[in-house]
Amino acid sequence: MKGEADDNADRAQEAEVEVVAICGSPREAGNTATLIEALLEGARESGAETTRFDPAKMQILDCIADDECLKGPDAKCILDDDMGHIYDALRRAEAWVLGTPVYHGHLTGTLKRVIDRLYAFYMSEGGQWRLALEGERKGGVIVVQADRGLATPERVAEYLEEVLRAYNVEPIGRVLGCELLKRGDAAAHPDMAAQARDLGRELASE
């Protein structure tokens, strides 16, 4: 007869990939969230575990650059807020997803605040930075905006992909949405959700 621990071990073996998404929109059930959910649904369909963070609903403080986190591989950020949950999940995950609406031509401050705090995954050794985070990961990005044309979302996606690479996360796909203004506009574009679901499936694959 199998016990609870065996069941947990079975589940851990079955769910070999965890996909963690950070939604940079402060809008409840907005377009970024809709596409992130489609992506995570695709990942779950492929057997992955998924976690979504909405930093706008969490207490995430600005990085204060005291550099305590750089002091060694186990050094931690000294700020006492909800970022600890995000660090733990990202460390565990095999795939990272960053999503944001375009605000004044760029990512939201909500997402940038989280990105700045990822600095705690670095350490300083002999005056050189090095990543204190182990392993290679896959990543994806989602960028939406109200305007027509993909030039700005492409630029923002390139920036987010550069951030991912700095953490040894290889971007394998992006979902860009334009002409999405109001909450719910993304739901009228099943093509975008389908693209997000496909990316989720790819992120979930070994």
Ligand X SMILES: Cc1cc2nc3c(=O)[nH]c(=O)nc-3n(C[C@H](O)[C@H](O)[C@H](O)COP(=O)(O)O)c2cc1C
Residues that bind ligand X (CB under 6 A): 25, 27, 30-33, 101-105, 144-147, 180-181, 183
Pick 84 or 184: Cβ nearer ligand X: 184
Angle at 89 between CA 33 and CA 193, to 5 degrees: 25
Residue 117 tokens, joined: 């705090």
* Minimum distance from residue 100 beta carbon to ligand X (Å): 8
Residue 146 tokens, joined: 């109200």
Pick 47 or 109: Cβ nearer ligand X: 109
* Minimum distance from residue 30 beta carbon to ligand X (Å): 2
Q: Tell me which amino acid residue 71 is.
A: K
* Minimum distance from residue 152 beta carbon to ligand X (Å): 6
Pick 123 or 177: Cβ nearer ligand X: 177
Question: What CA–CA distance (Å, rounded) separates 100 from 50?
Answer: 18
Pick 137 or 195: Cβ nearer ligand X: 195
Residue nearest to ligand X (CB): 30
Greatest alpha-carbon span in the chain: 60
* Minimum distance from residue 60 beta carbon to ligand X (Å): 17
Q: In the block, which residue shows the tokens 């963690």?
A: 20
> What's phi and psi for 4, nearest 5 deg?
-65, -40
DSSP output for 20-59? EEEE---STT-HHHHHHHHHHHHHHHTT-EEEEE-GGGS-
* Minimum distance from residue 115 beta carbon to ligand X (Å): 17
Q: Tell me which amino acid residue 122 is.
A: Y
Burial class (CB in 10 A: 0-12, 13-18, 19+), 102: buried
Pick 30 or 140: Cβ nearer ligand X: 30
Pick 26 or 47: Cβ nearer ligand X: 26
* Minimum distance from residue 108 beta carbon to ligand X (Å): 8
